[in-house]
Amino acid sequence: MVAASASTSSTPTTDVSDAPRTQLRVGRLTKAHGLKGAIKLELYTDDPERRFVPGAEFSLQVPASSPWHGKHLVLRELRWYNQIPVGFFEGVDDRTAAEGLLKAILWVENVDQEESEPDAWYDHQLVGLAVVRDGEKVGEVVRVDHFPAQDLLIVRAADREVMVPFVQAIVPEVDLAAGTVRVTPPAGLFEDVADDGESDEPDAASDTTGD
């Protein structure tokens, strides 16, 4: 499953189409490749031929302390080495520059009217959906948190928030038409775990059975 990969709001733009746009997460920079600034990529898109074309511009999600914070990358070329995508970017010309970008997440501006990718949703589509387990509602999606390893659905369940990994094994179905997210969580994810030391066995001190 491609996890939720867009920002939480759609901001209208003033281009000629006047179509609302969102930020779509499409990849992560993982490892420097060679000495000329190439960087291996982990793709979060099922359509790299459309997203990673020469001249494509990406916003960067990096720590505020990074010299790349607030900047953009422009792709010169995408190549494949042993089925691993490798990007070459303008202004990234040596290994040192490439290593300064590792773990950066790449985002692109996406027109909402563009055809959606299979099994991909925007955050604003997921927020507010009912979370259903075994046919019963157990909570509601209140936000989506994005991390390099995986995304998390943050679900309001009763008076607490539950972090649900947004992976196929745990979230097998998202039904936007029905307004539901079906989950098959591991035991204990939505249940309060009994405190250590609690026991269903009777207290020995209360045993009044005579000899």
Q: Which two tokens stand for residue 73?
A: 């990358």
Q: What is the pLDDT of residue 198?
A: 45
Higher pLDDT, 22 or 131: 131
Do 22 and 10 touch, CB atoms closer than 8 A?
yes
Q: What is the pLDDT of residue 41?
A: 94
Task: Provide the 3-class DSSP secondary structure of residue 97.
Answer: helix
Which residue, among 107, 80, 88, 102, has the nearest Cα to 22 in the 3D structure?
Answer: 107
User: CA–CA separation, 142 vs 154, rounded Å?
Assistant: 6
Write out pLDDT tens, residues 150-204: 788 999 998 899 999 988 889 999 998 899 999 998 888 887 533 444 444 444 4
Q: What is the pLDDT of residue 18?
A: 45
**Radius of gyration for the chain, computed over Cα atoms and rounded to the nearest angstrom:** 23
Higher pLDDT, 44 or 59: 59
Q: What is the pLDDT of residue 195?
A: 42
Q: Calculate the dihedral angle through the C-alpha atoms of 184, 149, 194, 161, rounding to the nearest 10 degrees.
A: -80
